Structure 1
């Protein structure tokens, strides 16, 4: 498989190296008994060199000098955490070549893949319209606002929709690279995972911070503050809407547009966030914590933790997670 890895100035160092390490290990394991390496990776840039997010120089093949086509165009993340910096990179005229390349590949039927903020570049090219994709959880509101025609499932670690595959935050680059190997050979992917000690991980929804997500919109920020003050005995959503000076329909629509979830689902996120904080910083019983976050029965909180975190109250209290959440299985 000929893989074209498209990179721009500011490329995320760890994401790039994770992909290269997984594919390199797959090649090494395939050739140890005399076989041929299954993957050929060409790092493509606008010119002969790019600078990574940590300031390292990376040699690239200029896009205009590619000696052959690609079987897969892959876009790692850029090393920016702030959504506005990601959008600025996407709009940077110096990066227009990547958008043109992605659009051309999509037109030709060449599979596309991206991790984390790399999905913004594919979306900007128009290649993701009406496709299901994922990206880093903290970039979700900015992505939804800029690309309303793309179906964002940012609680997923890996999403495949036809010829397009996207992965979530940061080290989901590993999941994306393993997906590439698995397309060639599931047995080889399993061997690579065991050699590199790559284990299953929960959905990135487990790490989304409600407060940070809500900051993308003033109404959602106000709703998040309102919800936190009413967790123990939550009044109806209609009261929240009246307090915030909007209709209940506007509250519902804004939550869905900005956060990709209903107001009630967002309140569950906040409850889970607060319960996790109390478990890790107090000696309150699980029953007392359940009451503080609005649940009469601790069993309801246990089920929320199991479903959203793939974990248990006891494990969260120790600061860990158990197993991947059931809804986080890659497509």
Structure 2
């Protein structure tokens, strides 16, 4: 049986522990239990989380675990020296060591992430890069596995990380079965973006939201201002003015961002030819998509596609 230790410090965010459920349900999915999951802290006993109530833990000390996963607090916080020392030693002794969200700061402070490709929540990713220059922070990733060190983005990304670990341990079928039990998509690809173009645009009115939804559902179309304005039931001139006022973007830029997001997702979720991706996402031709990718990501589609594949295989 594989022992999974979730390490918490005072003030940890309880949502970090949702990843435990993946391992719990894996025990139900097979003929016999696969995992022994334990909640650990520096001294054991009750540890108060960020909501103010305590959870019972066992004390750190034993390295007889397959995997340690460090839960994160709502914002990066000071980690007890004893925990840092334990993490530094544990990284050399266990098969996997991981973090969820801001838990990556504990691993970085312990020196575990030096020279590694890692991710964390995008809100604090740049802070991590500044505080730990030896760490290779990739802020736009759901999770990354670099050797025996695994890191994930925001709290819900811990579920994707746990499902990827389960797939690594028990195979894709068990992982899919657990994902279905949790009413989840199998799992998001590790290289998938943390961001959503619709979330960034965030319109205030239903009219602009309707136009954006229409655009996203019809990316293969030309999507002229006139068409979007018709969906919003206002004049093209009024639509352009209102759209920019509510979103800070021109309609053309917002549509391009939606196409970029859809194209990148196709690259992450399948091995589709570049020409097909360009066609399906409304860029019409490969060259037009290449120029848009360079503007947005500083890289052509082939490089982005290769990076997503490499992140998935790492």
Report the TM-score, using the length of structure 2 for normalisation: 0.66
Contact 1:2 1:40 in 2 (8 A): yes
Aligned match for 2:179, one of 193, 208, 214? 193
Alignment of 1:69 onto 2:64:
yes
The residue aligned with 2:262 is 306
Matches for 1:206-225 after TM superposition, within 5 Å: 206-207=195-196
The residue aligned with 1:158 is 143
Alignment of 1:136 onto 2:121:
yes
Provide, for residues 67-115 of structure 1, a one-character-per-residue CA deviation record: whole Å limited to 9, x for no partner. x61111111221x24xxxx1xx2x34xx222211110022336421111
The residue aligned with 1:15 is 16
Contact 1:278 1:284 in 2 (8 A): no
Cα distance between partner residues in 2 of 1:205 and 1:49? 33
Q: Alignment partner of 1:166: what SS?
A: strand
The residue aligned with 1:25 is 25
Q: 1:163 to 1:145 in 2, by over 3 A?
A: same
Q: Which moved more, 1:194-203 or 1:176-185?
A: 194-203
Matches for 1:240-319 after TM superposition, within 5 Å: 273-274=200-201, 277=203, 282=208, 287-288=224-225, 293=249, 300-307=256-263
Report the TM-score, using the length of structure 1 for normalisation: 0.63
Contact 1:105 1:111 in 2 (8 A): no
Aligned match for 1:119, one of 104, 126, 133? 104
RMSD: 3.4
Cα distance between partner residues in 1 of 2:263 and 2:134? 28
Contact 1:167 1:173 in 2 (8 A): yes
Residue 10 (structure 1) shift: 1.2
Cα distance between partner residues in 1 of 2:52 and 2:38? 21
Contact 1:156 1:328 in 2 (8 A): no
Contact 1:305 1:312 in 2 (8 A): no
Q: Which moved more, 1:46-55 or 1:303-312?
A: 303-312
Q: 1:130 to 1:279 in 2, by over 3 A?
A: farther
Residue 273 (structure 1) shift: 3.5
Contact 1:287 1:298 in 2 (8 A): no
The residue aligned with 1:38 is 34
Residue 43 (structure 1) shift: 1.6
Cα distance between partner residues in 2 of 1:70 and 1:306? 40
Cα distance between partner residues in 2 of 1:122 and 1:297? 39
Provide, for residues 121-173 of structure 1, a one-character-per-residue CA deviation record: whole Å limited to 9, x for no partner. 11110011110011001011211111111111111101111111111111111
- Whose RCO is larger (CA < 8 A, sep 6+)? 1
The residue aligned with 2:270 is none
Cα distance between partner residues in 2 of 1:183 and 1:192? 13
Matches for 1:315-326 after TM superposition, within 5 Å: none
Cα distance between partner residues in 2 of 1:297 and 1:2? 49
Cα distance between partner residues in 1 of 2:254 and 2:193? 24
Cα distance between partner residues in 2 of 1:104 and 1:141? 27
Alignment of 1:145 onto 2:130:
yes
Contact 1:133 1:150 in 2 (8 A): yes
Q: Alignment partner of 2:144: what SS?
A: strand
